[in-house]
């Protein structure tokens, strides 16, 4: 397909899509109106379980099974990336040297921001049921905080502070914990992912039953996932190098070249 | 009637799709896919919007009868963002593999089928 034909097909597709979307939007309830049937049902369910943060209640209580699937998607993607970014044929891992100059102001900022970010992450994660935030957000902030060390120019320090094997296990443990909490709901309550713990008082730190526990499980998975992902990409960029072919006269046979020739 | 937010959502998505179709670099293609997916965030949040509605965090000020914006679509947006991050990372890893095997990341130069 030439570029010209592709652009014509694209233009036709965009016009058709835009027209169908315009037709769909004119048939929808008025924008910003007060007709939100799902909202009303979800708010009632949130109140029934004394959870202050309605979004957390929906994610971890009302549709916990969906969130389990979502967590599994993340888990599988990380496994896929880790499998794709191994050192492959004719590649080797080299030691990353501590070359390069880092501004002292950058260093200072990292020393100042690193503990602050970790505390913020734990705060966001722990209060997921009562304030905006939760496991996903807290996990991302925590992993970002740990990678501030890399911004400070210290790949070796990052590697010391980030024992990758722990995070591999932490990721799996988070998924297992999430599933175990769901099965506990089935064993003690009425259904899979049922909220079986007494919910307490709306707005309290210890309230809303299983939601904070789910938040912790998701936080573990998300933090470990982002760390494993970024570790794979950093490793690829910094440590893995293609081996030089020692004897240029003899072309080594490789599976790839055979594959592309057929 | 106000279709402004829906228009923005569809525009972002179509911009992303156009970027994918005209891309000359696979990393650019992956980023365009993220842009197209961002359109769905805007659409979801726009569907749940209500004039005068506040954030769905209940407490002393926000009670059972206070109008809040739809938390269901916000939860869906959160799911959407996580899936988008997973897809983007997976695709970028694939791009690295393609770059290694073909020494090219222009989709037009990767036309030959393998097998």
- Is the residue at A161 inside a domain? yes
CA separation for the pair B75, B69 (Å, rounded) = 12
Q: Do A31 and B2 touch (CB under 8 A)?
A: yes
- Is the residue at A144 inside a domain? yes
Interface test with A, best of B82, B83, B115 (most A CBs within 10 A): B82
The 10s digit of each residue's pLDDT in B28-85 is 999 999 999 999 999 999 888 888 888 888 877 777 778 888 889 999 999 999 999 9
Chain A closest-CA separation from residue B35 CA (Å) = 16
- Band the pLDDT of A8: cuts 50, 70, 90: very high
- Is the residue at A262 inside a domain? no
- Is the residue at A152 inside a domain? yes
Chain A closest-CA separation from residue B101 CA (Å) = 7
- The whole-number average pLDDT for the span B94-111 is 81
Q: From residue A100, how far is each of A5, A92, A167, B37, B63 by CA, in Å?
A: 49, 23, 28, 37, 56
Task: Outline where DSSP puts E strands in chain A.
Answer: 91-93, 240-242
Q: Do B82 and A136 touch (CB under 8 A)?
A: yes
- Is the residue at A219 inside a domain? yes
CB within 8 Å of A110: residues ≥ 6 apart:
A148, A149, A151, A152
The 10s digit of each residue's pLDDT in A93-103 is 777 766 667 77
Q: Which domain holds residue A77?
A: 48-81+104-240
Nearest to A56, CA basis, from A137, A122, A142, A134: A134
CB within 8 Å of A43: residues ≥ 6 apart:
A54, B56, B64, B68, B71
Chain A closest-CA separation from residue B72 CA (Å) = 6
Which of B49, B74, B86 comes nearest A55 by C-beta?
B74
pLDDT of A261 strictly over 70: no
The answer to whether A186 and A194 have CB atoms below 8 angstroms apart is yes
Count Cβ–Cβ pairs < 8 Å, chain A vs chain B.
Answer: 151
For residue B55, list chain A residues with Cβ-Cβ distance below 8 A: 132
**Long-range contacts of range A152-161, CB-CB < 8 Å, 24 or more positions apart?**
A152/A102, A152/A106, A152/A107, A152/A110, A152/A111, A153/A100, A153/A102, A153/A106, A153/A107, A154/A98, A155/A96, A155/A98, A155/A234, A155/A238, A156/A96, A156/A98
Give the pLDDT confidence score for residue A109 in this predicted structure. 85
Sorted by where each starts, the structural domains of chain B and their CATH numbers stand as 4-109 (1.10.287.3510)
pLDDT of A82 strictly over 60: yes
- Band the pLDDT of A248: cuts 50, 70, 90: very low
Count up the domains in chain A and report the number.
1
- Is the residue at A125 inside a domain? yes
| Most confident segment among A7-16, A34-43, A194-203 | A7-16
For residue A224, list chain B residues with Cβ-Cβ distance below 8 A: none
Which residue did the predictor score with more confidence, A104 or A173?
Answer: A173
pLDDT of A247 strictly over 70: no
Which of A39, A51, A59 comes nearest B70 by C-beta?
A39
Which of B18, B59, B101 comes nearest A10 by C-beta?
B18
Q: Do B48 and A39 touch (CB under 8 A)?
A: yes
Q: Do B55 and A132 touch (CB under 8 A)?
A: yes
- Is the residue at A3 inside a domain? no
Nearest to A215, CA basis, from A168, A174, A180: A174
Give the pLDDT confidence score for residue B14 in this predicted structure. 92
What is the interface pTM, i.e. ipTM, of the complex? 0.84
The answer to whether A84 and B96 have CB atoms below 8 angstroms apart is yes
CA separation for the pair B106, B27 (Å, rounded) = 9
Q: Do A53 and B94 touch (CB under 8 A)?
A: no
Give the pLDDT confidence score for residue A259 in this predicted structure. 39
For residue B44, list chain A residues with Cβ-Cβ distance below 8 A: none
The 10s digit of each residue's pLDDT in B1-36 is 578 888 999 999 999 999 998 888 899 999 999 999
CA separation for the pair B75, A58 (Å, rounded) = 7
Which residue did the predictor score with more confidence, B103 or B74?
Answer: B74
Which of B1, B47, B57 comes nearest A52 by C-beta?
B57
Which residue did the predictor score with more confidence, A253 or B56?
Answer: B56
- Is the residue at A215 inside a domain? yes
- Band the pLDDT of B89: cuts 50, 70, 90: very high
- Band the pLDDT of B112: cuts 50, 70, 90: low
- Band the pLDDT of A117: cuts 50, 70, 90: very high
* Class of residue A77 by CB neighbours under 10 A (exposed 0-12, middle 13-18, buried 19+): buried
Which residue did the predictor score with more confidence, A77 or B53?
Answer: A77
Q: Do A21 and B10 touch (CB under 8 A)?
A: yes
The 10s digit of each residue's pLDDT in A11-39 is 999 999 989 988 988 888 888 888 888 88
Give the pLDDT confidence score for residue A116 in this predicted structure. 93
């Amino acid at each position: 397909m030439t570029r010209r034909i592709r652009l014509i097909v694209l233009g036709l597709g965009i016009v058709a899509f835009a027209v169908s979307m315009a037709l769909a939007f004119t048939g929808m309830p008025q924008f910003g109106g007060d007709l939100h049937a799902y909202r009303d049902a979800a708010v009632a369910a949130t109140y029934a379980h004394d959870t202050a943060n309605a979004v957390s209640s929906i994610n971890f209580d009302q549709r916990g099974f969906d969130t389990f699937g979502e967590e599994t998607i993340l888990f599988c993607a990380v496994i896929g990336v880790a499998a794709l970014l191994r050192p492959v044929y004719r590649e080797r891992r080299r030691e990353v040297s501590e070359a390069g100059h880092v501004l002292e102001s950058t260093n200072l900022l990292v020393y100042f921001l690193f503990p602050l970010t970790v505390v913020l992450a734990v705060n966001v994660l722990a209060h997921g049921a009562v304030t905006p935030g939760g496991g996903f957000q807290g996990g991302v902030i925590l992993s970002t905080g740990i990678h501030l060390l890399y911004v400070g120019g210290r790949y070796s320090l990052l590697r010391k502070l980030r024992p990758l094997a722990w995070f591999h296990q932490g990721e799996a443990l988070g998924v297992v914990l999430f599933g175990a909490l769901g099965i506990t709901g089935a064993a003690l309550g009425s259904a899979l992912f049922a909220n079986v713990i007494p919910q307490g008082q709306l707005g309290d730190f210890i309230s809303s039953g299983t939601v904070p526990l789910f938040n912790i499980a998701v936080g573990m998975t998300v933090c470990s996932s982002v760390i494993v992902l970024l570790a794979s990409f950093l490793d690829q960029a910094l440590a893995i190098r293609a081996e030089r072919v020692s004897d240029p006269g003899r072309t080594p046979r490789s599976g790839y070249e055979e594959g592309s020739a057929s | 009637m106000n279709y402004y937010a829906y228009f923005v959502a569809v525009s972002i998505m179509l911009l992303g799709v156009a970027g994918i179709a005209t891309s000359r670099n696979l990393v650019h293609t992956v980023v365009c896919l993220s842009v197209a997916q961002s359109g769905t965030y805007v659409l979801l949040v726009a569907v749940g919007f209500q004039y005068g509605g506040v954030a769905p965090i209940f407490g002393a000020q926000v009670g059972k009868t206070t109008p809040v914006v739809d938390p269901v679509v916000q939860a869906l947006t959160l799911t959407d963002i996580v899936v988008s991050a997973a897809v983007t990372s997976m695709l970028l890893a694939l791009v690295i593999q393609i770059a290694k095997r073909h020494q090219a990341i222009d989709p037009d130069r990767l036309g030959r089928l393998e097998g």
